[in-house]
Chains A and B, each alone.
Chain A
């Protein structure tokens, strides 16, 4: 086995990993930074983000507004000190991206343009047409090539962390292209491996979004926090789950049921106004909109595709062809290429699909996990800004703000830590390699990972969907336990070593099953409704007495996870009623008159 030693090891080269790498390289150019990604960096799923990234820039907006929108949107399950830190740093990070070349859309005078987004009081979402994540990712990747201290390991797949002396000291990786394993030792490690949306059936995530880093940390005793909060995005393509960005509604799109009626007004999101109004109707938050679509389906007011998926209409026709082409070109292409629809002349069928993993690896405001030397940033982490429901355009900001912090902190830690010692760590690396080789070569009992994956995704959707009840969640937990047993009996068709994607998929499924279990048990144990976790079995209300708390899933080998709870940091916003539309405005006015 090869052995490479670095100072800082970063696993994941999406938005968070690349930002961390650049920060680390700038913090101390003399350190070696190893940047590992299982795909070429620009294939990372940040590439798919469409709508944009939030940062206060208009004179009539304020950091306080962004703070309040985020904390209310998260149904008060946010770490308020972290949110405060976050909103302050969003705009400087967006400016930094601008300096690095990100082609932000502009106003006629050359200033940055911003658009409205769901749950945001004032327009503050910076955008690059509807390819914002794509441009952020390519800008970061291309910029990262100017730092000689960043050594990339493109298309290297991480199979385990190396831990000794109570510290994370590296990882074992292998190259699908050669089938060779490498131990990368380091004095500090950052996980930036992205979300886990593909544990659900219909989702907006790419095939690579399999929760790898979450599972790796979790298996080594780092808790996964708030995993029950999985975000459903209301407007996705029925069948594939491909996303139609919230910017469609930010630009003025309408949601219609089968009668052509803007049904959101029936769910406390009205009034209907001619011009789009922030935090009202289609500009309400994602959890509320997805729930409303589910309710419409129950009332028989949705439509159904030939394949049996129910849907409502996203109507963009009134925006006109010119605006659609300027602001939403990708959306037009997707509708045209995949559905044969021109959004300027016909409404687009949409339905909710799983989109974002609000929870993740528990980290503090410095992105440090509970394991010394291990940091996490981006969607794989839970730093505390999303609470029970993430606001659209807060996640791209998270990548740059906390990617930056992680890079700085890892450098600081690395400089104070002794160099990694080969011996014991290399033995660990050999043992992890032997384990995954065992999975590849075992005779097994004839189980196929593709079958297990399908069953996992189906049971997650059934038990942990938009609305939840104990009996179904329990069934999901039991099913996952069964799938984990059957996983041990996997037989691979492919035993070769070059580009054995059969094998990689099987390893990823192992990660997914662990993460899915953390989601299902955290959901089952939360006996209240909050944000994206909505129950219909007697726990329909938020319960601040018992559940204004972060869930923590702790891994137990061969057993169900143990779920415990940790405190939520409240600084200046006391939990109140979370309301949108007219009621939201009335509450806000009341609050302002008290202040």
Chain B
């Protein structure tokens, strides 16, 4: 393969990639979901501070020792008080981090906001002919 062709392919791909990056950076989520309040944004940092993601998933991404937390607040029979109980006391598998109250409130605010952003895991869906899926509520 001549060097000019190699260079052209490389730089063409690179330019498309950079444009695509700008598009992804600016892409709005479906129905503009997922916005976090100030407090929830702080909660996200607390979530990182204690490395909750090592055991938990958000949208199925993360560690697998504990359950997916995307919808813990919006799931029937669970909710804020339920989640708070876990965070305050821990369990046999989940450590009690002795998290101060204000940080717990931020965590709960974060969990509340992500609950509204979508569904995980996806259980109800239709299949399209091309192998992609359509999520149902």
A, B: real partners: no
Chain A residues at the B interface, C-beta cutoff of 8 Å: none
